[in-house]
Copies of this chain bind each other. A is one copy, B any other.
Amino acid sequence: MKSLLDEISNEKSISSEKLQLLKSSVVIKHIAKGEILRRKGEKPEKFYFVKKGCLRSYAIDEKGKEHIFMFAPEGWIIGDIESHVKNMPTQLFVDAIEDSEIEVFDKKIINLDTQLLQPKLALDKLTKRVAVLQKRIILLMSATLQERYLDFIQTYPEIVQRVPQKMIASYLGVTPEALSKIRNDLSKHK
């Protein structure tokens, strides 16, 4: 099972003192499908690393409709850097779409003064996140639904079969009917 704590522990440059501090601050949580970890308007003090299961973060628009910002299956992190950078309440809800096991980190560990999360590791994670977000925007703006669906499969190969169709549609910003049509078209061309 993937573990961010293990990954940090394996960094050679971290002192045993800091590692001890880090280990004592990380909490392992088991959460049930449907459980809400964070609501819009809160100020997140934690971020979550998914060891098992799947979380998602989502916005709810003024008409009450859900829009999925991201999925976080095994190995992904859900935080809220926008809220962190601007010191503002979050725009996003976070819940579990499967029974999940997560590592809960205090966001203090990304503070460079504490140096609990090594800069190299933090840079690596952030750089990859920027890449995912950049691609998402370009696709949202300029790609066909088929290209966006294929990108979803590429980004999240492990959850294509696990996530309800209506959630994939919400992530892609289309109706479940339009998604269903694309999937049918693609299976015919295989």
Contacts and interface: CB of A to CB of B under 8 A. Distances in A.
- Interface bin, chain A: 35 or more
Given A120-B112, A123-B123, A130 B133 contact: yes
Interface stretch (A96-104, A138-146, A160-168, A176-184): A138-146
A1 interface: no
Given A81-B130, A131-B81, A140 B141 contact: yes
B69 A128 contact: no
Given A123-B126, A130-B130, A138 B85 contact: no
Nearest to A79: B130
B142 A140 contact: no
A136 B137 contact: yes
A133 B126 CA distance: 12
A133 B143 contact: no
A3 interface: no
Interface of A: 59-62, 65, 67, 69, 80-82, 84-86, 91-92, 112, 119-120, 122-123, 126-131, 133-138, 140-144, 173
